[in-house]
Amino acid sequence: MMRAYSLFATLQSMVSERVDSRKDRGATAVEYGLLVGLIAAIIIGAVVLLGGTLDGIFTDVETTLDSEVNPGG
Binned at pLDDT 50, 70 and 90, residue 54 comes out as confident
According to the model, what pLDDT value does residue 7 have?
66
d(CA 52, CA 64) in angstroms, rounded, equals: 18
d(CA 60, CA 73) in angstroms, rounded, equals: 16
pLDDT tens by residue, 3-46: 776 766 777 887 777 766 666 666 788 889 999 999 999 999 99
d(CA 26, CA 21) in angstroms, rounded, equals: 9
**Rounded (5°) CA angle 68-72-73:** 85
pLDDT at 47 over 80: yes
According to the model, what pLDDT value does residue 55 have?
86
According to the model, what pLDDT value does residue 24 have?
61
According to the model, what pLDDT value does residue 68 have?
83
> For residue 36, how far is the Cα from the chain centroid?
3
The two most distant CA atoms of the chain are separated, in Å, by 100
